[in-house]
Structure 1
Amino acid sequence: MKMTSIISVNFNQPEVTIAFLKSVKEHAGEIPLEVILVDNGSKVDHGPEFLATFPGLIYLRSAENLGFAGGNNIGIERATGDFLLLLNNDTEITPNLIPVLSEELDRNPEIGLISPLLLYYDQPDLIQYAGFTEMNYLTCRNKGIGNMEHNSGQYDQASRETAFCHGAAMMCRRTDLERVGLMEAHYFLYYEELDWCEKFKRAGMKIWFSGRTKVYHKESVSVGKESSIKTYFMTRNRMLFIRRNTGWLNTLLFSLFYIFIACPKQMLVYLKKGRTDLIKWVMKGLIWNFSHSNQSADLGFKI
């Protein structure tokens, strides 16, 4: 049986990560498996506790916070499995997760990346993800399929192509990365998994959703606490994604929309909310794109 490498990243969430490791230990069964945990520059090294929770864990520690993509890339480069399963540390798995996803990849060589059904951990009958609609590249907007629907089994037999995977849970073949490459670490936060999906598509592979298995995600239904880091990277990376993944004409049309409609609208929202402190971060995220190449490693934000 082929081996799967589970890769996850911890950043200052030891309790959440320990619960994740316990979930893997409980539900992975006898499947050939290696589990790789990357600590992304946490203030305190909880390595001994992680290793005690999951004997045999491959624990890697980065001296600095490299972001979602950078942390996962460390794990990917260390992995030896035939399949790579990237899971957020705030997820808990189910017993058939690995068999179903790996079976889908074995059965259909056209699949590049695949994600399962995601349910909210605190409201397990509520769907977070059942796929994504196609991107409107002129606005860089799409919609989540199934999001906030009551789970009544409507996606249990679904196995279909979708526009994008969900970064909380996605599997690929290790050999495919020889063509596709790693995630782009210079996104740091937000849009990196969408960009990775685009890379798989350009390599001629499909993005897939399977409702035949599921993962519980501890992200809150009301997630979205506004902050300078979220505002900056959301603004910066929405435009960076378009610059990296569309032609010059689309980028120009998007830029006009973004500069004169989307960003002013967002600033007005912050003004009405009394969050004038965030307006400058919209501006900074926008300006970064006009002063940096789309390959720049300069984040423009002090982490």
Structure 2
Amino acid sequence: MLKLATIDRGPALSVVIVSYNTREMTLRAIETLYEHTQVTQFECIVWDNASSDGSADAIAAAFPQVRLVRSAQNLGFARANNLAAQQCCSDYLLLLNPDTELHTDAVDQLIAFARENPQAGIWGGRTIFADGSLNIASCWARPTVASLLFKATGLSTAFPRSAVFNPEAYGRWPRDSVRPVDIVVGCFLLIDRSLWHQLGGFSEKYFMYGEDADLCLRAIHLGYQPLITPKAQIVHHVGASTTVTEAKAIAVMTSRVSLVRDHWPAWQQGAGVFLMWLWSALRYLATRPFVASRDAQRRARAAHWAAVWAARKTWLRGYDQA
């Protein structure tokens, strides 16, 4: 049984949601957050990244208790979270995506888990899709030479449940046990606020994607060990604010190259960047025969990899230094 902590100096938790053109989902995320968090005293800060769908007005009308920040421009996920976190004075920060829903006391469970395991510094839970099936993307292992080789050659796709050929996904682990992980994904990431400040928050050169991996790997370097608990489970609809698949793919490739440059030993970085190039090159070549295919999906896949390949000079540089 969870016990309500006595708090004399404000809420124990600050929940930060960065919203961008996801009005209905953001409203649902906030609604379920308040509905299912009954034990933990918290504040909710929503940073709206210049949405054009009326998100800010709808949030202000439906949830006057939320601290709403209307940004005049889209600052990206990392900078928006950093600025929102500057307004917090709680013990913990919870980064919550706008395309999530709480169906249980996930936040209460995650806070209790954090208090029982303070050495972790960063904590995450279990994510599922709307139909109840497992969404493995609540956590990942760090990329390595082996994992990038298996991705480039397609072995991770051919054997997605293999701990050998798909190590970044932790193989067959269904996220049903407490386990240390390398990366807690920023859709549902709890961090000790003092550690957040020690790390300087997110590196703002990661405009989109990779900032959570960089944060966790820097925490590990300081001696912390992020943990996952299955008791904190949420629905994550995934990718609602990114609808252009080529743009998303290019951003992911850029962030992965940046992680290689930022966290791999210097003697391995060249190999890592080459494997990222090889990953794109092999898929570009493999899809060339389908450019004029009668199958719409094959044509779309060919166009997708052509766009990623065409942008290779950009993403192979990684993100510029902030």
Question: How would you bin the TM-score normalised by the shorter chain?
Answer: 0.7 to 0.9
Count residues in correspondence. 286
Which residue in the other structure is 1:262 paired with?
279
| Gap change, CA 1:145 and 1:241, over 3 Å in 2 | same
- What is the CA-CA distance between 1:269 and the residue it aligns to? 4.5
CA distance in 1, matches of 2:103, 2:303: 43
Q: Contact 1:5 / 1:83 at 8 angstroms: preserved in 2?
A: yes
| Gap change, CA 1:42 and 1:48, over 3 Å in 2 | closer
**Structure 2: stretches of 5+ with no match in the other structure:** 152-166, 291-297
Work out which of the residue numbers 211, 218, 228 in structure 1 matches 2:237: 218
CA distance in 2, matches of 1:209, 1:83: 16
Question: Identity rate of aligned residues, in percent?
Answer: 20
Q: Is 1:46–2:55 an aligned residue pair?
A: yes
Q: Contact 1:236 / 1:286 at 8 angstroms: preserved in 2?
A: no
Which residue in the other structure is 1:6 paired with?
15
Work out which of the residue numbers 182, 193, 206 in structure 1 matches 2:225: 206
Q: Contact 1:138 / 1:253 at 8 angstroms: preserved in 2?
A: no
- What is the CA-CA distance between 1:128 and the residue it aligns to? 3.3
| Gap change, CA 1:118 and 1:262, over 3 Å in 2 | same
CA distance in 1, matches of 2:260, 2:84: 27
CA distance in 1, matches of 2:127, 2:77: 19
What pairs up with 1:113-192 in 2 under 5 angstroms? Answer: 113-121=122-130, 123-129=131-137, 131-137=139-145, 139-140=147-148, 142-145=167-170, 155=176, 158-192=177-211
Q: Contact 2:18 / 2:98 at 8 angstroms: preserved in 1?
A: yes
CA distance in 1, matches of 2:57, 2:49: 16
Q: Is 1:296–2:305 an aligned residue pair?
A: no
CA distance in 1, matches of 2:243, 2:320: 29
CA distance in 1, matches of 2:57, 2:244: 34
Which residue in the other structure is 2:35 paired with?
26
Work out which of the residue numbers 239, 242, 246 in structure 2 matches 1:228: 246
TM-score (norm. length: structure 2) = 0.79
What pairs up with 1:9-88 in 2 under 5 angstroms? Answer: 9-88=18-97
| Gap change, CA 1:224 and 1:71, over 3 Å in 2 | closer
Q: Contact 1:138 / 1:254 at 8 angstroms: preserved in 2?
A: no
- What is the CA-CA distance between 1:245 and the residue it aligns to? 0.9
TM-score (norm. length: structure 1) = 0.83
Q: Contact 1:231 / 1:282 at 8 angstroms: preserved in 2?
A: no
Q: Is 1:93–2:102 an aligned residue pair?
A: yes
Name the SS of the counterpart of 1:18 in structure 2: helix
Q: Contact 1:116 / 1:211 at 8 angstroms: preserved in 2?
A: yes
What RMSD over aligned residues (CA atoms) do the two structures have, in Å?
A: 2.8
CA distance in 2, matches of 1:17, 1:100: 22
1:105-158 per-position Cα deviation (integer Å, ceiling 9, x unaligned):
22222212111110112x114343464345324554643247896xxxx81xx2
Report the residue type matching 2:143 in the other structure.
M
Which residue in the other structure is 1:279 paired with?
306
| Gap change, CA 1:118 and 1:288, over 3 Å in 2 | closer
**Structure 1: stretches of 5+ with no match in the other structure:** 298-303
Name the SS of the counterpart of 1:187 in structure 2: coil
